[in-house]
């Protein structure tokens, strides 16, 4: 993974941890440059448990979410995390935000982009971010889109996070990444989100379940924990994987 640039675009503060934390940690260990853009803190939509506290305020929720996400990022080994602080629920996609992301894609120049998959039956924000990232990648790759004098990028691979309920979101597994070696780190990162114990349990189970699938599909019993992604495009290369 040495020499690879990966960009992860996360709708809310914890999405990159639940859905790709083990892969991020594995890429960092493997020598890749990994950048994460967190579009919102999920103050309105993904902090239900924090809002149960008497007298809770948006400022306090945002403070807690920032601390938790930063600590989780640190545990995963991330050095490049940006918080764009958009309002969530609903997430609003504007031309200005599209250009801003296009600029960052051209600056980061990723080989691999990971973000939300096209459909999420329970989360319209995720669907909008998926569209935003697709659109911005297309623009970044196009020489005629002039932005700050930045050079157009080369077509990148794009992969979609697994949504919470996969089948009703038409999620189709395209690539399963073994995270056996980084699962412990992912678990620690997940535990930063103290108000979401049930999701820690949930995504630990999914990692184990996808590990089972990885072993079954490959015949490689060493795969024990994994993360699953949709392929936006076919795989291209000189041989089968």
CA-wise closest residue to 110 among 174, 164, 154: 154
30 binds its own copies (CB under 8 A): yes
48 binds its own copies (CB under 8 A): yes
Residues between 193 and 232 that touch its own copies (CB under 8 A): 198, 201-202, 205-206, 208-209, 212-214, 216-220, 223, 226, 228-229, 231-232
Q: Which of 8, 78, 177, 185 binds its own copies (CB under 8 A)?
A: 177
**For residue 207, with 0-12 CB atoms within 10 Å meaning exposed, 13-18 middle and 19 or more buried, which class applies?**
buried
179 vs 221: CA distance, rounded Å: 13
162 vs 172: CA distance, rounded Å: 9
Work out how close the CB of 17 gets to its own copies at its nearest, in angstroms, rounded to a whole number: 18
69 binds its own copies (CB under 8 A): no
Collapsing DSSP to helix, strand or coil, 194 comes out as: helix
H helices present in 57-196, as ranges: 58-76, 95-108, 124-140, 183-190
Give the range of 13-21, 77-85, 130-138, 183-191 binding its own copies by CB under 8 A: 130-138
Choose between 32 and 73: whose C-beta lies nearer to its own copies: 32
237 binds its own copies (CB under 8 A): yes
Choose between 80 and 155: whose C-beta lies nearer to its own copies: 155
């Amino acid at each position: 993974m040495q020499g690879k640039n990966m960009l992860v675009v996360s709708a809310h503060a914890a999405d990159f941890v639940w859905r790709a934390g083990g892969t991020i940690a594995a890429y960092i260990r493997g020598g890749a440059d990994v950048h994460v853009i967190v579009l919102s803190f999920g103050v309105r939509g993904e902090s239900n448990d924090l809002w149960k506290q008497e007298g809770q305020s948006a400022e306090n929720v945002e403070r807690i979410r920032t601390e938790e996400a930063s600590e989780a990022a640190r545990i995963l080994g991330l050095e490049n995390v940006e918080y764009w602080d958009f309002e969530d629920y609903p997430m609003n996609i504007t031309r200005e935000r599209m250009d801003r992301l296009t600029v960052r894609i051209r600056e980061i120049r990723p080989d691999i982009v990971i973000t939300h998959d096209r459909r999420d039956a329970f989360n319209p924000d995720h669907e909008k971010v998926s569209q935003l990232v697709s659109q911005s990648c297309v623009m970044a790759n196009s020489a005629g889109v002039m932005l700050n004098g930045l050079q157009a990028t080369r077509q990148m691979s794009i992969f979609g996070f697994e949504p919470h309920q996969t089948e009703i979101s038409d999620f189709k597994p395209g690539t399963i990444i073994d995270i056996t070696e980084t699962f412990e780190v992912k678990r620690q990162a997940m535990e930063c989100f103290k108000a979401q114990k049930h999701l820690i349990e949930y995504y630990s189970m999914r990692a184990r379940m996808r590990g089972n699938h990885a072993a079954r599909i490959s015949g490689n019993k060493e795969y024990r924990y994994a993360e699953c992604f949709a392929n936006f495009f076919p795989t291209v290369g000189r041989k089968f994987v």
